[in-house]
A and B are shown apart, each in its own frame.
Chain A
């Protein structure tokens, strides 16, 4: 019997015009060279023109003190802080909005997406109306409207609403905040340490369920583990109990911590806008799971919540996660619209920098790089999450 054997592949790659492979390779190299030449020409042309017109360029301004004030910052600064610190302050403010925004938008969007399947007529229609309204109004307008709502409807500082030790006015929401000492830092470290064994325990409980069908309690155990380790860290740090209470000064509330109306309107505007898109993505994910799966899960004796968690959601996640990444990136980039409502995030700080130093190209290049890095990191994390939630074919 003659065995069928595959035709041996040609080992050597040909660079000649004659072969299709060779032609393809040549075209690619020419295209790369052309793009590289174009970029090089653009850069040298720009630099030559700037020199000709006496426009100074370079990144040396970054080590100069920046001199302006920023109304809200997570990073302390003083009169000698350099532009590096200024950009770091902007980045920290952007991250504050982006991380909180992504988390809240996912929660709100998922709830509304699931609400579209509700058997309650009112819930279904309200969710539908929400999605149609918030998706179709431009986000810039939405942010402006929320800012007007927050600054017009809230009372002026002199007549601020007092709720216990919290104050709410046009100047923002002020609330008591613990005076941060080592105790609180150790508590946060304890919380982070507790995450690893919680994850391991959750996986083992899941394996146990797969093997034997018996449910081990996951949520109470994980919760008590996290609380116990945080409490332990706090006690080890000396159990600090001091709170900083906000008090009404002459023009502003002193003490405590506060959220400015700029931050609140930016967060609310971005969350509601992005949640409308996420709701549609979640709805499409759940709808993509065929009816047969729901029926099969029911026939196996799984309850509605169990079938959602064990059968429908893992399959729906495959469809949901890729477009969700885009929405997260959109939210991060839309936070740059904060310049319109006065929140000092990265683009706002870069704007002020480029006006004070005149280095427009340098400041904007830094902003572009930072957004590129944020987007790549977010996409990488989501890709890892996507890969880990993929259904493994047997």
Chain B
């Protein structure tokens, strides 16, 4: 081999290197958001009550409100959010690759997701469980579903939970797995499957949105799994993780202290020192997070506290009509317990 050949091949390899390089270490999400002027939020493609776009393109829902609160806390403006609808297969890769800053898409916190994907679970914003939706009249309990065909969407914890439940109770359930949620619900309502399974909140949302006669369908009372749903962020940026967690905890703590969307300004004058800390009138907690002292006040003004978010999106006045249940404050018998903001 001549020297010329070696020189040529080295030159070619060097040229190839110019196109490919290691990107900057993942971190500094807050700086990128401030520079961009926008929070990029990954949401569900369309799940009533959690994240749904209306005909004008405006997004609403429990998960959507969380991102709005986050944008208000970080960027002073709840509208500075870019919404990226994602299906169950794309959601983790979009977050891992840096395409989105936060994934607020009713994702269940599990060990494998928290530990092996390079992602962090932020905190639970909705305690749920997996259930079955069936036509009224034939069965009253999930344990009677022997041999039923069950429609399920691909790529969720649902399939494994259903298999575990089926084996434990000797039910021989037949899963019919679809990629798109509309195909799965369509097959259930057309009668191909005798049951549809997903988180109970998703069942309520589907029944409200797609059933011709919602009273003909019943959600069976057995919840076969624990599904703590909440947002996720990337590993390697603890600063952003802290902001994401404490915005959520702040909204929950605000409900505990009675701070509502309508009375934020009045509450700033309150003599209660804890409220003063939260709203920034006595102490500045925001600087620990890299934000200014009005961070939580802005968030609550934008979306209300956790209870208001719940009532607005999935509460008794909406089509889903979900009771607070496990999502009530700990003082009311539920599981929503925020660590103190101080």
Q: Which residues of A contact B (CB under 8 A)?
A: 15, 17, 26, 29-30, 33-34, 37-38, 41-42, 45, 48-50, 52-56, 67-71, 79, 148, 151-152, 156-157, 170-171, 249-252, 254, 260-262, 339-342, 344, 348, 351-352, 354-358, 360
Interface size for chain B: under 10, 10 to 19, 20 to 34, or 35 or more residues? 35 or more
- How many angstroms from the CA of A252 to the CA of B163 in the assembled complex? 17
- How many angstroms from the CA of A250 to the CA of B139 in the assembled complex? 10
Assess the A355–B183 pair: CB atoms within 8 A: no
- B26 / chain A contacts, CB cutoff of 8 Å: 52-53
Q: Which of the 9-residue segments B73-81, B168-176, B206-214, B303-311 touches chain A?
A: B168-176
Assess the A53–B236 pair: CB atoms within 8 A: yes
Q: Which of the 9-residue segments B110-118, B123-131, B325-333 touches chain A?
A: B110-118
- How many angstroms from the CA of A354 to the CA of B92 in the assembled complex? 10
Assess the A261–B167 pair: CB atoms within 8 A: no
Q: Which of the 9-residue segments B58-66, B186-194, B268-276 touches chain A?
A: B186-194
Assess the B148–A29 pair: CB atoms within 8 A: no
Chain A: interface secondary structure? helix
Assess the A33–B174 pair: CB atoms within 8 A: no
- Interface residue B177 (Cβ < 8 Å from any Cβ of A): yes
**In chain A, what residue has the closest Cβ to B162?**
A69
**In chain B, what residue has the closest Cβ to A249?**
B147
Assess the A54–B118 pair: CB atoms within 8 A: yes
Which listed residue (A26, A30, A50, A341) contacts B183, Cβ 8 A? A341
Assess the B148–A252 pair: CB atoms within 8 A: yes
Assess the B160–A356 pair: CB atoms within 8 A: yes
Which listed residue (A30, A71, A171) contacts B12, Cβ 8 A? A30
- How many angstroms from the CA of A281 to the CA of B327 in the assembled complex? 63
8 shortest interchain CB distances as A-B pairs = A355-B155, A55-B118, A53-B118, A54-B118, A34-B12, A251-B148, A37-B13, A33-B9
Q: Which of the 9-residue segments B15-23, B39-47, B220-228, B243-251 touches chain A?
A: B15-23
Known: A69-B162, A251-B147, A342-B178. A358 touches B113 (CB 8 A): yes
Looking at the assembled complex, report how far the CB atom of A169 sits from the nearest CB atom of chain B, in whole angstroms: 9
- Chosen A-B contacts, 17 in total, with CB atoms closer than 8 Å, are A17-B4, A29-B5, A37-B16, A45-B21, A49-B22, A54-B235, A56-B116, A71-B149, A151-B190, A151-B191, A157-B194, A171-B192, A251-B147, A339-B179, A352-B177, A355-B88, A358-B112
- A42 / chain B contacts, CB cutoff of 8 Å: 20
Assess the A26–B5 pair: CB atoms within 8 A: yes
- B154 / chain A contacts, CB cutoff of 8 Å: 339, 348, 351-352, 355
- B25 / chain A contacts, CB cutoff of 8 Å: 52
Assess the B13–A34 pair: CB atoms within 8 A: yes
- A53 / chain B contacts, CB cutoff of 8 Å: 26, 96, 118, 234-236
Assess the A71–B177 pair: CB atoms within 8 A: yes
